[in-house]
């Protein structure tokens, strides 16, 4: 059994760790509220815009932006992998990395796959296994629509000029603070509506279909990428808050166990000292 000094040092160390994990939990909880409100407010707009774009995709030609709806034979794929810049968030990053590996192994055998990473944690691991053409981790330092739009425009150009035949986004979708769902979402080409029979294409365009669609497609794609990053951002803070909450509880349990061990050891040491004193006194009397 460890001596009393070693146990005291461990109790002090665990107490310091608890202060850190508890503070990290509170910081993530504060950031989560803002990020959750942002993604909750954005989802209806993004979903409706994507639905409208899918419905219109069947009417597009190359002159009205149909290049983004072209279904090509897939030989070269780009995966946009979204993780976090920091750790201590449970399985948040590992689940995205695992899904990326599974997606490549199951769906793109024989095809050339390259990655664009957003988040340092995913970049540090995946660049050792795959070709990473770009890393945009700095986007989380100032996550706004304008900065994300630049990345989306670059992706659109890479698809339009034929560099890639398909672009997908792998990210964590926010459900609640304890649950994040890993999604693989097609970015380009634009997916047509699944139930084409139920889709009405009887639209009245004002001022003109070409003008509306040419403006709608880029905006929809930029919004789709921005929503994915917002989702991932909220999921990260939810995962970190949950992980730090569990870490604080585990540290508290361990500290209580050590306190019990310490008190037992101290009581045993005091008892031994009393026995030694009594034994010494009896020896003198004898």
Q: Which of 158, 149, 169 is nearest to 96 (CA)?
A: 169
Residues annotated catalytic, as ranges: 89
CA separation (Å) from 137 to 115, 122, 202, 239, 258? 13, 10, 43, 19, 41
Distance CA 5, CA 76 (A): 62
In the block, residue with structure tokens 């660049």: 127
* Whether 126 contacts 81, CB under 8 Å: yes
Which uninterrupted H or E stretch holds 183?
A: strand 179-188
Helix and strand numbers (H, E) in the chain are 5, 5
φ, ψ of residue 181 to 5 degrees: the values are -110, 120
User: What is the distance of C-alpha 30 from the center of its chain?
Assistant: 17
Q: Which of 7, 41, 110, 61 is nearest to 209 (CA)?
A: 61
Distance CA 55, CA 236 (A): 33
């Amino acid at each position: 059994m460890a001596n009393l000094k070693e146990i005291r040092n461990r109790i002090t160390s665990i107490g310091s760790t608890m202060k850190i994990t508890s503070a990290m939990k509170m910081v993530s909880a504060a950031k989560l509220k803002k990020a959750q409100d942002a993604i909750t407010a954005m989802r209806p707009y993004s979903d409706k815009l994507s639905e409208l774009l899918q419905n219109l995709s069947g009417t597009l030609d190359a002159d009205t932006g149909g290049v983004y709806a072209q279904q090509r034979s897939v030989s070269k794929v780009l995966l946009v992998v979204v993780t976090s810049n920091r750790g201590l968030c449970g399985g948040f990053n590992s689940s995205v990395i695992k899904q990326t590996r599974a997606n490549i192994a199951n769906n793109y055998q024989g095809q050339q796959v390259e990655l664009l990473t957003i988040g340092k944690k995913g970049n540090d691991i995946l660049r050792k296994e795959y070709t990473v053409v770009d890393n945009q981790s700095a986007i989380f330092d100032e996550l706004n629509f304008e900065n994300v739009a630049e990345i989306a425009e670059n992706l659109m150009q890479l698809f339009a000029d034929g560099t890639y035949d398909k672009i997908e986004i792998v990210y964590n979708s926010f459900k609640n603070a304890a649950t994040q769902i890993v999604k693989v979402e097609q970015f380009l080409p634009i997916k047509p509506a699944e139930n084409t029979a139920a889709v009405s294409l009887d639209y009245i365009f004002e001022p003109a279909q070409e003008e509306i669609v040419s403006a709608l497609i880029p905006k929809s794609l930029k919004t789709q990428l921005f929503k994915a990053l917002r989702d991932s951002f909220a999921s990260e803070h939810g995962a970190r808050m949950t992980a730090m909450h569990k870490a604080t509880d585990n540290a508290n349990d361990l500290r209580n166990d050590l306190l019990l061990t310490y008190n037992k050891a101290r009581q045993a040491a005091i008892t031994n000292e009393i026995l030694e004193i009594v034994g010494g006194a009896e020896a003198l009397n004898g």
